[in-house]
Amino acid sequence: MRLEPRAHVPFWLNITAPLGAVVLAFAFCALLILWAGAPIIPAYTALVKGAFGSTFALTETLTRAAPLIFTGLAAAVAFRAKLWNIGGEGQLYAGALAATYFGTGLVTLPPYLMIPLLFLVGAVAGGLLLLVPVILKLKLRVDEVVTTLLLNFVVLLFANYLLFGPWKDPLAMGWPQAAPIIDEGVLSPLVPRMRLHQGFIWAIAFAVFAWAFIRFTKWGFQIRAVGYNPEAAAFAGMPIGATVLRTALLSGGLAGMAGVCELAGLKGYLTLDISPGFGYTGIAVAMLAGLHPLGVIASAIFIAAIYNGADAMSRAMSISNYLADVLTATALLLVLASVLFVRFRPRLR
Amino acid sequence: MPEVKDTAPQGAGAQPVLRLSGITKRFGGLTANDAISLDLKSGEILALLGENGAGKTTLMSILFGHYVADEGHIEAFGKRLSAGSPKAAIAAGIGMVHQHFTLGENLTVLDNIVLGTEPLLAPRRNTAKARRRIAELAEHFGLSVDPKRLVRDLSVGERQRVEILKALYRGARVLILDEPTAVLAPQEVETLFTTLKTMVAEGLSIIFISHKLNEVMAVADRVAVLRLGKLVGDFPIAETSKEALAEAMVGHAIEMPERKPQPLGPVVLQLAGVTLRNEQGKALLDELHLLLCGREILGIAGVSGNGQGALAALISGLALPDEGAFEILGQPVKETSPLAMQEHGVGRIPEDRHATGVIGDLSVEENLILEAAGSPRFCNLGFLKGGVIRRNAREKIERFDIRGADPTTTTRALSGGNMQKVILARVLSEQPKVILANQPTRGLDVGAAAKVQELLFEARAEGAGILLISEDLEELLQVSDRIAVLYQGRLSTPVAVEEADLKTLGLLMSGHGEFQRQKGAHGHAA
């Protein structure tokens, strides 16, 4: 087999190629399910039902998708500018820390001001955290992959210190958790008796915002230009440093809001397990979406559905729920490979 | 020739070493090669001439097995060549020197040449034998290069010699050279041509891909012309002329724009005793004096690497002189940036279209506003004015004859000539007073080059002073009002083009002649 470049990419291929890749991923994992000793069709039925089969399942999936949309956007925006922000997890915790600081009694405002305030302080904290490695990158050419990644642990350990020390809630029976967010700051549920909360709406709104920002503003144009070709962008007179800093604030801010979303919408108080790696999964979400902000919504829901569905499948079939990780990883690899077939035509001799 | 069996019978009426029969190749709707039949005789240099996109490279890729033809077949030395296998092509004695070299920079010359020819599992490498063989080949064909050196440290000309040696080492009897002169300085081109002539005298056969008529006339025995995928001519070189070839290549007569004398305008750019050093302290520009007036084109000739990059960086806003005065329109330049230069009224056409001129992944309309995206014309309160940008693109595509593009086309999909027109459209519509044109026609076909020159003449007529940096002396002689030669960071006294001759310029380019040292030697009578 050989690959030849395509002169024109048919539009349908842009959609069918990734979908085909996802189907292939399911086919591959079917083998693993068989190996684990479960029948395929009932297993996948359990998965789909667990993800979308009831109001409860659907709202749970969307609840899980909300923080993934935020962290996915954070990665998508940064990667667009070729800023390799691997620190979404740390920025998420930074956002949650800031929201805890302001949201546990320091200020009390009516909900329509309190909630935006929490998102704002969370975004600022996440953005400022990313600013540190980015300034090091710009001034001293320190590789941001390493610094953003390692900052995750710094922030996590700092949160650890706070939760075991000064911020420990005396009413929490000794558990390492902070005081709860005041009622004015809590994101209200969208569906009665379900966990799905307003944070999902905020996530969708910010996806649309990020898309419009990148597409229609001068700064967004500069982010794209610098990402595609920094040399040409600099030659054309674009401010490279300022563009990268703006990208960092935006990306870190979005990741910080993921922390606020989880804290004020789901948990209610800060703990050390507020994120099961949403910051890292956000990278997969962004790649799966081809770094398109609106695509992030779909891919975040897809990944959330797989995780929720796989939990249900593992309970129903008594097989390991690690299959969710395998399934998303396979889907991601195959979708990335499918990009190759969009750009090149495979030919058999 | 050591260890190569000469399978090609010699003499008149001999069977061709290579026979392409009815090769057709389609990419989607595009027919890149349309039923091309071509013979290569033993001991001849066949030039394959055609504009960019005529199908030369596709045809050679098929020959070398990178692509498989949809129809037709190839015979080498009378035997059918199996399609789609570079290995088979090499075994049949076909060697290819690509335009962009395929060498490992971190390996020695010897390793690069031997790479892939040694058995995968051998107790030890027989380098002595390989070294002897390379030395033999190198001496035989005048391809001197030290096998112990790292490719990283070689000049472009030397790298090309390594590529040729690599093909010969594999026993090539037919050598395909894809645009071999595109990267070479004039002297290196001479050396290459001598080598090629030695090789055909030894019975090798060569296919020489080019779009430069002068070179084809100078080196080829026979020329095949491709246009839009079709073979439109196959002439012995003695029976054709540059004009006839140009017409066959383009399909119609090309009118090169004519330079009309014009009264000089005021001084727009002045460099007085400018020295620019690199990080190691080496002077890239050495007390350079230069005076550019409105309504003139000052041609800067010279072998690349003699300070052209530094001069271009200075005027592009990427560097400031370490010493000396730098004035634009009478204003001293104290701080610099690409933006500052735009504000001074400098239009900049960079050397490398793909790397610095356009952003290939952005659309044509976006590339057209790359420099002016922040101006109130295209931007309001931080929001881009989509409608205005779209109209601007339509108007520029029309006025600058940018072909194959609508406003939303990805710029990468454009040909080199049309990409250059995008850059010119962007730069010239700002009505610059000083224009830096760095290799503006390099790699362009005749038609596109003529359009670029015409646009530069238009800008000149509107009062701009143009600094034209080029390695193509013929172009400089045709387009410039005055010509100066840059050699090791120093500039010769510019002469009016009517008084310039190729011989003197050639000598200056190799450092023989007068280079200005003191102020006032600008070449203007005034």
ipTM, two decimals: 0.85
Higher pLDDT, A337 or A75: A75
| pLDDT at site B211 | 77
Are B359 and A233 in contact (CB < 8 Å)? yes
Q: Is the pLDDT of residue B120 over 80?
A: no
A218 in B contact zone (CB under 8 Å): yes
Q: Checking phi first, is residue B404 left (phi over 0); if not, alpha (psi -120 to 50) or beta?
A: left
The half-sphere exposure of A46 on its side-chain side, counting CA atoms within 13 A, is 19
Contact across the interface for B337 and A217, Cβ inside 8 Å: no
Picking from B68, B356, B361, the nearest residue to A231 by CB comes out as B356
Banded model confidence at residue B412, pLDDT cuts 50, 70, 90: confident
Instruction: Decide if A75 contacts A88 (C-beta within 8 A).
Output: yes
CB contacts, 8 Å: B338 with chain A: 234-237
Is B115 touching A (CB cutoff 8 A)?
no
The DSSP annotation for A15-82 comes to HHHHHHHHHHHHHHHHHHHHHTT--HHHHHHHHHHHHHSSHHHHHHHHHHHHHHHHHHHHHHHHHHTT
How far apart (Å, rounded) are the C-alpha atoms in residues B459 and B451? Answer: 12
Nearby residues of B308 by Cβ (< 8 Å), 6 or more positions away:
B300, B302, B351, B438, B469, B486
What is the reported pLDDT for B520?
A: 46
Please indicate if any CB of chain B lies within 8 Å of the CB of A348.
Answer: no
Q: What percent of chain A has pLDDT over 90?
A: 72
Domains contained in chain B, CATH given? 18-250 (3.40.50.300), 265-345+432-526 (3.40.50.300), 360-426 (no CATH)
Using 50, 70 and 90 to split pLDDT, how confident is the model at A8?
low
Does pLDDT of B492 surpass 70?
yes
pLDDT for the residue numbered B9 = 42
pLDDT category of residue B379 using cuts at 50, 70 and 90:
very high
* DSSP assigned state of B15: P
Q: What's the rounded Cα separation, in Å, for the pair A28 and A42?
A: 16
Does the pLDDT of residue B241 top 90, yes or no? no
Task: Summarize the confidence of residues A292-316 as an average pLDDT.
Answer: 92
Work out the pLDDT band at A245, boundaries 50, 70, 90: very high
Check whether B29 has a pLDDT greater than 80: no
Kindly give, in sequence order, each residue whose CB lies less than 8 Å from that of residue B142, ignoring residues fewer than 6 positions away.
Answer: B191, B194, B195, B198
Beta bridge partners, B42, equal: none
Interval A316-346: pLDDT, tens:
888 888 888 888 889 888 988 887 888 777 7
Average pLDDT of B495-504? 85
Residue B154: is its pLDDT beyond 90? no
Compute the nearest-CA separation of B337 from chain A (Å).
7
> How far apart are the CA of B5 and the nearest CA of chain A, in angstroms?
31
CB contacts of B384 in chain A (<8 Å) are 216-218, 221
Local confidence band at A348 (pLDDT 50, 70, 90 cut-offs)? low
Of residues B50 and B314, more confidence is placed in: B314
Q: If we measure between CA atoms, which residue out of B266, B246, B248, B245 comes closest to residue B256?
A: B246
Residue type, B7: T
pLDDT of res. B3: 43
Check: CB of residue A325 under 8 Å from CB of residue A306. no
Q: What percent of chain B has pLDDT over 90?
A: 37
What is the average per-residue pLDDT within B342-367?
92
Give this prediction's pTM: 0.80
- Decide if pLDDT at B304 tops 90: no
Residue B437 has φ and ψ, to the nearest 5°, of: -115, 105
**Tens digits of residue pLDDT in B197-209:** 999 998 899 999 8
Mean pLDDT of A205-226: 96
Look at A147-151, B247-251, B288-292, B309-313 and tell me which has the smallest mean pLDDT.
Answer: B247-251
Q: Which residue in B67, B348, B384 is closest to A216 by CB distance?
A: B384
What is each CA distance from B376 to B372, B383, B384, B426, in whole angstroms?
9, 10, 9, 16
Lowest mean pLDDT among A3-12, A169-178, B79-88, B205-214: A3-12
- Structure confidence at residue B179 as a pLDDT band (50, 70, 90): confident
pLDDT averaged over every residue in chain A? 91
* Eight-state DSSP code of residue B497: G
Task: Report pLDDT for B423.
Answer: 95
The 3-class SS string of A88-143 reads HHHHHHHHHHHHHHHHCCCCCCCHHHHHHHHHHHHHHHHHHHHHHHHHHHHHHCCC
- pLDDT of B258 reads 82
Q: Tokens in use for B355?
A: 């790397």
> Could you write out the DSSP letters of every residue in A243-308?
HHHHHHHHHHHHHHHHHHHHIIIIISS--TTS-SSHHHHHHHHHHHTTT-HHHHHHHHHHHHHHHH
Residue A7 in this model has a pLDDT that exceeds 60:
no
The answer on pLDDT for A209 being more than 60 is: yes
Identify the closest residue of chain A to B371 by CA–CA distance.
A236
Chain A residues whose CB is inside 8 A of the B69 CB are: none
CB pairs under 8 A between A and B: 76
pLDDT of residue A163: 93
Question: Which range, of A180-194, B338-352, B443-457, averages the lowest pLDDT?
Answer: B443-457
The shortest C-alpha distance from A7 to chain B (Å) reads 7
Q: Which of residues 300-339 of B touch A (CB under 8 A)?
A: 316-318, 337-339
Instruction: With beta carbons less than 8 A apart as the criterion, state whether B496 and B482 touch.
Output: yes
Contact list, A219 vs chain B (CB under 8 Å) = 382
Beta bridge partners of A5: A344
Confidence of residue B510 (pLDDT cuts 50, 70, 90): confident
Q: Which residues contact B361 (CB under 8 A, 6 or more apart)?
A: A228, A229, B410, B411, B412
Residue A56 to residue A64: CA distance in whole angstroms: 12
Across the interface, do B356 and A235 touch by the CB < 8 Å criterion? yes
Examine the pLDDT at B523 and tell me if it is beyond 70.
Answer: no
Tell me what the mean pLDDT of segment A65-75 comes to: 97
pLDDT for B291 equals 93
Chain B residues with CB-CB distance to A347 below 8 A? 68
Q: What percent of chain B has pLDDT over 70?
A: 95
